[in-house]
Structure 1
Amino acid sequence: MKKDDCVFCQKTDLIMENDLAKAFYDHAPMAKGHVLIVPKDHYVTFFDVPKAEQQAMIELMDEVKPFLDDKFHPRAYQIFSHIGAPAG
């Protein structure tokens, strides 16, 4: 469900997407190729995302990786989710 006040819903410059998730560059990247992969619906944390949508996010990550490999040739990857204020 699209929300007018959601910055992720407003993203139109997608790298890739599937039925349940989408990937786009972070507006304040920590490194070249910093990509966010988010569900298309709204949830408080990754642990609140239904399993089917979590799976869609992981599948999309698997599709984005070769794209980033070809474009940026990264030496490493970080995959994480900040959950809770102390986590950032």
Structure 2
Amino acid sequence: MTDVNCIFCRIAKGEIPCSKIYEDDKVLAFLDLAPVHHGHALVIPKSHHKDMLEVPSELGCAIFAAMQKVAAAVVKATGAQGFNVMQNNGLAAGQTVFHIHWHIIPRFDDDSLEMWEQGSYPDMATMQAMAAKVASYLEN
């Protein structure tokens, strides 16, 4: 399934050029046009899925395998000391293209990039209450 108005669907179909670094029958990876660091790559399924809640679980293995290959290649090509895998779901989380995609961001010891400020729970009871609330919404 594709969305004719989706830029990533159009890239996956070859209608829009990209700097392709990996492709198989289900997944495509290419360099990000606005990289955090050179080598910053995007990994997408070729089929259109808005976010993580819409991706069929059986597609997950193919995506994960591609991310492993791409991340290893990015680290070797850039000389990075590590990498981040980032994926945003929804506008509030920073998603700007509504075709699920993962960012592979090479990281360097001295890059000073901070991803987010960490918080804390006021006490263990509050943390346990949140855990119970989340767990109550899990489907078995």
The alignment's TM-score, normalised by the length of structure 2, stands at 0.56
In the alignment, the residues of structure 2 paired with residue 48 and residue 68 of structure 1 have an alpha-carbon distance, to the nearest angstrom, of 27
Q: Structure 2 stretches of 5 or more lacking a match?
A: 12-16, 95-140
Q: Is residue 21 from structure 1 mapped to residue 27 from structure 2 by the alignment?
A: yes
Runs of 4+ in 1 over 2 A off after TM superposition: 1-6, 9-13
Q: Is residue 74 from structure 1 mapped to residue 80 from structure 2 by the alignment?
A: yes
Structure that is richer in strand per residue: 2
Alpha-carbon shift at residue 51 of structure 1 (Å): 1.4
Aligned counterpart for 2:57 among listed residues 36, 48, 51: 51
In structure 1, what is the equivalent of residue 5 of structure 2?
Answer: 5
Q: How many percent identity over aligned positions? A: 30
| Greater Rg by CA | 2
Alpha-carbon shift at residue 2 of structure 1 (Å): 4.6
Pairs aligned (count): 88
Whether contact under 8 Å (1:22, 1:57) holds in the other structure is no
Whether contact under 8 Å (1:18, 1:56) holds in the other structure is no
The alignment's TM-score, normalised by the length of structure 1, stands at 0.85
